[in-house]
Chains A and B, each alone.
Chain A
Amino acid sequence: MLAIRVIPTLLLKNSGLVKGVNFKNHKYVGDPINAVKIFNEKEVDELVFLDVSATNENREPDYRLIEDIASEAFIPFGYGGGITNIKQVKKIIRLGVEKVIINTSAINDLTLITDAAKFAGSQSVVVSIDTKKNFLGKYRVATNSGLTLTKLDPIELAVACEKAGAGEVMLTSIDNEGTSKGYDLDLINKICTSITIPVVASGGAGSLEHFKQAIDSGASAVAAGSYFIFHGRHKAVLITYPEYEQLEQLFKE
């Protein structure tokens, strides 16, 4: 069994699947249900869906779409986007979603993490931490899908989230996201040495080698978007996923 999870991250906007660079310029890449059907066939062990417009449009999660995904996905998945209160967490878990992913709201108020963990168990509560370097080159936490740069240090936030009951941290480098140039290994290393819960590295994967680097830097799992969605120099949309044996081989050493 592969102890390291390799997770496709799929971004949702207006019920469609989108992908951008550095959290910007999202373009439509397809239908989410269709993507689920393709990933069902590919021995993917976990999926992540993030609605990138729910929080900024100040609206509820798209429960219809979440329910449709839960009905079609023959794989466990996490959902994030627009979750602001415990009622929504309960509703989403009851729709058949395995993990809720909380970002902006958790950062504003850690009690949501604690309440969600009490309801669903820590294993089902993921805090997503988006980071960006400020003009001094220091890592800072961003919220609202990257629109707001806070003064928070991501390490301090990760430690606080673990204490509050989070079961996992999804760590995304906005500077690397969508660039395919590799993960921010320094950031991964800093966070992983500060907390004991699993860290999912996200943002920048462009090759299998990048996955390996993130794991060697301490991540428990790797997530990627572009790598699974685009193909070739011209970034044609083609959903792919490495063979299981290939991943086994990659992480063996």
Chain B
Amino acid sequence: MIVILDYGVGNLKSIQNMIRKAGGEAVISSNKELVAKASTVILPGVGAFDHGMEKLHELGFVELLKNLVYEKGVMILGVCLGMQLLFERSEEGSLDGLGFIKGTVKRFQFKKEQNLKVPHMGWNIVNPIENAFLYKNLPNNARFYFVHSFYVECEREQDILATASYGLDFACSVNSGNVFGAQFHPEKSHKFGMQFFKNFLEYINASN
């Protein structure tokens, strides 16, 4: 069972609808008992890092997620802020992240003459590493929709699944074991996002 974790941030229905369209089923839930039974958890999120972590703590999800990922080998996909929460820490806040992936979330800082706006908002090209399963059957220059003011800096190069370029090359998708992340919004990236979820579903089925 795929559970989209509802911890009070944003509209989660577009993720659910996109997964349905890609041929899968997902439930949106904030129920701990239900989440505990998940084989895959999608961690969405928009807004500030500390606010996201506070909400996860408040609802008792931090320990639960750690238990699921470390003990039960449950797959987790963080999207946007959800991906940043997978990391150890963020320049945006003082709370610890979930720490599934080693590294820090950093703020975009550009010089005036670079003329780049923060947040990075709009469509951008995603460059996956070779043979990345989540990005198969996508054309070169496949574009995805981004809205974010912070980016992740991985400590280990092998955790980087794809990069995008905005003032600098940054990791826009990550993977370490059963933990996956996407900085962009696949649920808002029409046919490319659909292919992303199709690949994701196929990966889930193959690992079951």
Contacts and interface: CB of A to CB of B under 8 A. Distances in A.
Interface of A: 1, 40-41, 43-45, 67, 70-76, 94-96, 98, 121-124, 167
Nearest to B10: A96
Interface size grouping (class) on chain B: 20 to 34
Interface stretch (B55-63, B98-106, B120-128): B120-128
Given A75-B189, A96-B11, 11 more contacts: A1-B123, A1-B124, A1-B125, A43-B190, A45-B190, A71-B14, A72-B17, A76-B185, A76-B188, A94-B10, A98-B188
B125 A71 contact: no
The 5 A-B pairs at the shortest CB distance, nearest first, are namely A96-B11, A71-B13, A123-B121, A74-B190, A70-B11
A96 B117 contact: no
5 contacts: A43-B190, A45-B143, A74-B188, A75-B188, A76-B185
Q: Is the interface of A mostly helix, strand, loop or mixed?
A: loop
B11 A71 contact: yes
Nearest to A96: B11
B18 interface: yes
Given A1-B125, A94-B10, A75 B190 contact: yes
Contacts of A75: 145, 188-190
A36 to B, nearest CB: 11
B141 interface: yes
Contacts, number: 66
B177 interface: no
Given A98-B147, A123-B119, A70 B13 contact: yes
Nearest to A71: B13
A76 B145 contact: yes
Nearest to B197: A74
B191 interface: yes
Contacts of B159: none
Nearest to A45: B123
Given A1-B143, A122-B117, A74 B14 contact: yes
Nearest to B146: A76
Nearest to A67: B11
B6 interface: no
A124 B121 contact: yes
A1 B143 CA distance: 7
B62 to A, nearest CB: 24
A212 to B, nearest CB: 20
A45 B105 CA distance: 28
A67 B11 CA distance: 8
A47 to B, nearest CB: 11
